[in-house]
Structure 1
Amino acid sequence: MARIALLLLALALPGLVLAGDDDYASMLGYLNSGSRIDGQAFRGSSGALAVNIAAGDMNLQSNLRAVASGQYAQALYAARQRRSGDLHPADLAASATIGGQAYAGGRGVLSINQASGSGNAEINAIALAAADQGIREATDASLADDVSASAGGQASRNPRPSVGGSRNAAVESSALRGFQGVLQLNQVAGSDNVTGNALQLSVPAPSH
C-alpha cells in the first residue's frame, strides 16, 4: 500500500524516478526544498491578514492578535511553542521567497510566517489596547516574557554531507511594494531556526 502511494506521488512530480530508498529520500528533499508566495497573491488586500506557509517537517508557526477597547482595557497574549527529541532530515537545499506582486498595494495588518526546511519555530504577535489611561510604554522584559519558541529538534543521525545544496530567503523587489500598515515577516530557509516578532501598542481610547 505504501509502495503504491509512493508511486502515485512520483508520477505527479515530473523528473522523479522511483528506484529505491535513496530516491525516496531525494523525493522528500524535493518536497521540503521550496516555499514561495508569488504572482498576484493578496495584491491590494486590506484588513487583517495572517499567513502560515511551510515546506518541510516539524515546523511550528503561529500568528496571534489581541485587541481590547475600554476605560481600563488591556490586551495580552501568551505563546509557548515547544518540541524536543524529534529527528528530522538535515535539509541541504531550501528556499523561502515572496515574489511577483504579492501583497503589493495592500494595507492593514499583515503577519507572515514562511519556512522551508525542518524543525523551525516562528511566531508573530500583536497586542493593541485603546484605553482611557492613554499611551503606556511596553518594556523589553514584557515583550520577551509573552512570546517564546523553541525548535527543540535535531538533525538525523544519517545526513548526506556529500550532497551539495543552498539555503536562500528572499523578498523580491516587486513584492510588498507600496504596502501600508503593520507588516510582520518571519522568513526561514534551513533547519532548527527560531524567529519571532512582537508588537505591543497602547493608545488613548477614541472620544465619544
Structure 2
Amino acid sequence: MKRCGAWLMAGLLLPCAAFADEYAGMLGYLNQSRIEGHALAGANGLIAINQAAGDLNAQANLIGMAQGGQAHVDIDARSTSARNTVLLDGPLHASAHIDGQALQGASGIATINQASGIANTMVNIVSATLAREGIRESDDAALAAARVPASAGGQGSAGDGDAMGTRNVGVAASALQGFDGVLQLNQIAGAGNDTANILGMAVHGTP
C-alpha cells in the first residue's frame, strides 16, 4: 500500500492533500504569451508580430501599398476551420502582456497580434495608395462599401471542458513609449474571440 507523507515545495512542507491540490492547479490549461525586455526597441520600418500560446489560434498581418496614376489596393483576408475541438482538462488561465521597454522608440508600421487561449482569430490590415489623381471626398456609405473584407468562419471550439479560470491582458507603461508611426495591436486572453484592426489611406502624390 502506498503511504502518504509530505512534500517539500518552494521551501514549505506540505501534506499530501495540499500538494495534490497545488499539483492539480499546475496541470490546469495554462497559456502565457509575453513580449518584454528590449524587444524591437529602436526598430524602424515594417514590424509584424504574430505570437500565440494555446490551440487553434489564427493570426495575420497584411499590408498592401501601391503607387501610380491609378493606384489601388485590394486585401481579402479569410480563414476557415472545421471540426477542430479542444477539450479542457482544467480551468483556462490565459494572459497576454507587453512589458519592459518593448518597441520603445520604434518607428514605421507595427502590426502586433498577441493571443493566449483557444480558437481566437486576429487580423491587422494596412492599405495605402499614393495616386496622382488626387483624393475624392466620400461619405460614410462609400467608405463602408470600400472597406477591406476580413472574416473567420467555422473556427474551432473549446469543447465542453471547464470554463473557469483567469484571463488578463496588459501593456506596461514603459512599453511602446516614443513609438512613431502606425501601430496596430490585438491582444486576446480567452477563447472564441475575433478582433481586427483595419486602416486604409489614400495620399495625393505629385503629378
TM-score, with structure 2 as normaliser:
0.79
8 A contact 1:36–1:97 mirrored in 2: yes
Matched AA of 1:147: A
Residue in structure 1 matched with residue 150 of structure 2 by the alignment: 147
Bigger Rg, structure 1 or 2: 2
Partner of 2:177: 177
The one-letter code matched in structure 2 to 1:61 is: Q
Please tell me whether the aligned partners of residues 71 and 132 of structure 1 are also in contact (alpha carbons under 8 angstroms).
Answer: yes
- Which residue number in structure 2 is paired with residue 50 of structure 1? 48
Q: How does 1:123-142 map to 2 (within 5 A)?
A: 123-136=123-136, 137=138, 139-142=143-146
- Say whether residues 1:199 and 2:202 are aligned partners: no
Q: Does 1:86 align with 2:84?
A: yes
Higher helix share: 1
In 2, distance between residues paired with 1:172 and 1:195?
21
Identity %: 41
Contact 1:57–1:117 under 8 Å retained in 2: yes
Q: Which has the higher strand share?
A: 2
TM-score, normalised to structure 1's length? Answer: 0.79
Segments of 5+ residues of structure 1 without an aligned counterpart are 1-22
Flag the 1:141–1:25 CA change in 2: closer, same or farther, 3 A.
Answer: farther
Question: How is 1:108-119 mapped onto 2 (pairs within 5 angstroms)?
Answer: 108-119=108-119
Indicate the RMSD between aligned Cα atoms, in angstroms: 2.2
Structure 1 residues 89 and 170: CA distance shift in structure 2, 3 A: farther
Q: Does the 8 A contact of 1:113 with 1:123 survive in 2?
A: yes
Q: Which runs of 5+ in 2 are unaligned?
A: 1-22
Distance 1:171 1:54 in 2: 16
